[in-house]
Structure 1
Amino acid sequence: MTEQYHAINWNKIEDMIDKLTWEKLVEQFWTDTRIPVSNDLNDWYNLPKEEKDMMGKVFGGLTLLDTLQSQDGVASLKDSIRTQHEEAVYNNIQFMESMHAKSYSAIFSTLNTKSEIEEIFQWTNTNDMLQKKAAVLNDIYQNGTELQRKVASVLLESFLFYSGFFAPLHYLGNNKMPNVAEIIKLILRDESVHGTYIGYKFQIAYNQLPEDEQESLKNWTYELLFTLYQNEVKYTQYLYDEIGWTERVKVFLRYNANKALQNLGFDPLFPDSADDVDPVIMNGISTGTSNHDFFSQVGNGYLVGMVESMEDEDYAKWTV
């Protein structure tokens, strides 16, 4: 008898978190074409040259990471799905990672000349620090175990993006470039759900391991995080030393590294908490969005259920 192919049945849910996550991601759906980035051109023209250079590299780096996650990261997670609904959620996540990567090109096409864009991508595709973190993660995606791939994915979603997110959040807090920041806030809202969901799936499988294997994987996770953190500090210094933001960004990195560990159900590695992060940046992380398109009546996060991000209570709720 030939193998049966089973239609996905959303009326019979094995893991309610799959359904809740799907609904949340659909409610949060957005496209970059709805954000009027051109309204930020006056702010952009008035930025110092070194800050424009920094912003181009920031968005180039973010594009690289989203490309990696959409092409290889999420695909590697599908090898170990436990339910058809889980695969559907991963399909949604994979698409939105492509949307994120595309949204940076929308920013480039508005703010930068063709030659500047070419220079940004040339830098992105050859920078040693960017290429190192992509190579480390992709090696795990291609050759790691099921749980190692989930760890790498959570560290990318919940930690490695944030050196780049810092800059537009800083400008938002200083009343500059609000539409560029709007895109970042929408991406942040997605990544919050992605990291929490993948971390939840990690915890289910991790808790089924023998104690010695749990300890070994936990140690591997902390070693990986510290390796990535050391590289991220160098990358942060490269981006932000000239404009004097480095130490503030490093605090933000450590805070989000701890968040990634929290998503995995592990204890924090660094002493930094939300109270240590620049309050301007923490305010920018808040998930409400602000743009309004009066013609299509979308905006304010597209008014889709007034969706809120995964806050601490969600992390606690999803810990298994």
Structure 2
Amino acid sequence: MERLDKQGNYLAINWNDIEDSIDKATWEKLTEQFWLDTRIPLSNDLADWRTLSDADKDVVGKVFGGLTLLDTLQSQDGMSSLMADARTQEENAVLNNIQFMESVHAKSYSSIFSTLNTPKEIEEIFAWTNSNETLQYKAQKINDIYRHGKPLEKKVASVFLETFLFYSGFYTPLYWLGHNKLANVAEIIKLILRDESVHGTYIGYKFQLGFNELNAEEQENFKEWMYDLLYDLYANEEQYTHLLYDQVGWTEEVLTFLRYNANKALMNLGMDPLFPDTAEDVNPVVMNGISTTTSNHDFFSQVGNGYLLGNVEAMNDDDYLFRFDDDDQK
């Protein structure tokens, strides 16, 4: 993206002359659903927290530690790497918004920790997060692509992270929400999920613009790289899931959830699903945690007061999917 005209003048962004209408629609969507963790009464979950077993508490702490690490990666390295390859000035503005909200997400987990955990427990969670091999593997694998990958590779890494790798952590609060526990913690997760659905859809759309500019041979070579990356990340995610969930007996259910969301990541990128798992295969309690709200929406619908407690909008399959025909490209 050129920020200078032919005379070398720096170009002001002009939102009245939009190159890609999806940029404007995404900006409006993201700003309409702005939220902060300080608006959620997390202390109301303390009674529920005290009823959990030590193993359950251990899982909660570790999954949120892992999510903190991945959101830190997105906010500190991911979005800045994508900005270097933005097609429009408005896309840069959208990515700036996404970068800020990824920082809000990362901070939100610390708000959960400070409410539920002692200072010693928090220290232990972050020590585990910053040294666990399987968690560090996926963070470093994605970060290496951010630092050294090609523009389309960076977009694939971002979508795989936001629409797939996060979900081994999201399973836990959605599970407890389905069992009427930790409702305010889950409210934050639902707000994060709502953001991530837009992030993944938007970046996937930008990927499709670039991918469709490749010739047939280049597309096939790129698909091979992409699916190899997905298989590698899934193999590591299997290990991570066993490490977290064997102690509570949820491993197989979480892996089903992961495969389902891996398919969603591929759909965001305009690709066909890989795994046989569908929404019907996922634990219905967890799926209800995603979808139980007062209204459905599509990607461009109005949000209104959606960030308020108890009014988080539902995510549906359309939130993960933005495909377009050649005639739709601008």
TM category, shorter: over 0.9
Read off the aligned partner of 1:301 and give its amino acid letter. Y
Q: Which amino acid aligns with 1:252?
A: F
Q: What do the CA deviations read for 1:112-156 (whole angstroms, capped 9, x no partner)?
A: 000100000000000000100011001100000000000000000
Deviation readout 1:71-113 (Å, 9 max, x if unpaired): 1111110111111100000000000000000000000000000
Cα distance change, pair 301–289 in 1 and its aligned pair in 2 (3 A): farther
CA gap of 1:267–1:317, structure 2 versus 1, over 3 A, is closer
Cα distance in structure 2, aligned partners of 1:87 and 1:266: 25
2:308 is matched with: 302
- Equivalent residue letter for 2:277: D
Task: Judge conservation of contact 1:185–1:287 (CA < 8 Å) in 2.
Answer: no
Task: Tell me the amino acid that sits aligned with residue 282 of structure 2.
Answer: V
Of residues 7, 11, 29 in structure 2, which corresponds to 1:6? 11
1:302 aligned partner, one-letter code: L
Amino acid at match of 1:120: I
What is the percentage of aligned positions where both structures have the same residue?
68
Give the Cα–Cα distance (whole angstroms) in 1 for the partners of residues 321 and 57 of structure 2: 39
1:66 counterpart letter in structure 2: D
* CA drift at 1:57: 0.4
Check whether the contact 1:255–1:272 (CA below 8 A) recurs between aligned residues: yes
Are the counterparts in 2 of residues 252 and 277 from structure 1 also a CA contact under 8 Å? yes
How far, CA to CA, are the matches of 1:206 and 1:307 in structure 2?
A: 33
Q: What pairs with 1:150-189 in structure 2 (closer than 5 Å)?
A: 150-189=155-194
Q: Pairwise mapping of residues 1-320 of structure 1 onto structure 2 (< 5 A)?
A: 3-286=8-291, 288=293, 301-302=307-308, 308=313, 311-320=316-325
| Alignment partners' CA distance in 2, 1:114 and 1:55 | 16
The C-alpha deviation readout for 1:189-237, integer Å capped at 9, x for no partner, is: 0000000000000000000001111001111110100100010011001
Q: Are the equivalent residues in 2 in contact too, given 1:254–1:270 (CA < 8 A)?
A: yes
> Structure 2: which 5+ runs fail to align?
1-5, 296-303, 326-330
State the distance in 1 between where 2:305 and 2:57 align.
27
Taking a change above 3 Å as real, the CA distance of residues 128 and 11 of structure 1, as seen in their structure-2 partners, is same
2:66·2:135 contact (CA, 8 Å) conserved in 1? yes
TM-score of the aligned structures, taking structure 1 as reference length: 0.93
CA 1:316–1:300 in structure 2 vs 1: closer, same or farther (change >3 Å)?
closer
**Whole-Å Cα distance in 1 between the matches of residues 142 and 191 of structure 2?**
24
CA RMSD of aligned residues (A): 1.9
* Count of equivalent residues: 311
SS in 2 for 1:266: coil
Alignment gaps of 5+ in structure 1: 291-297
Provide the rounded CA distance (Å) in 1 between the counterparts of 2:280 and 2:28. Answer: 32
Once the 2 structures are TM-superposed, how far is the Cα of residue 310 of structure 1 from its aligned partner?
5.8
Provide the C-alpha distance between the structure 2 equivalents of 1:278 and 1:310, rounded to a whole number of angstroms. 16
Q: How far 1:280 sits from its partner (Å)?
A: 0.9
Contact preservation (8 Å) 1:28, 1:307: no
Please identify which structure carries the higher helix content.
Answer: 1
Q: C-alpha distance in 1, partners of 2:320/2:306?
A: 24
Is contact 2:48–2:181 with CA below 8 Å preserved after alignment?
yes
Cα distance in 1 for residues equivalent to 2:305 and 2:318: 26
The 3 A distance-change label for structure 1 pair 269 and 103 is same
Q: Is the 8 A contact 1:27 1:307 kept in 2?
A: no
Shift of 1:319: 3.5
Change (3 A) 1:177 1:21: same
What TM-score results when the alignment is normalised by the length of structure 2?
A: 0.90
Matched residue type, 1:142: R
Q: Per the alignment, do residues 143 and 23 of structure 1 end up closer, same or farther by CA in structure 2, a change over 3 Å counting?
A: same
Contact 2:290-2:314 within 8 A present in 1 as well: no
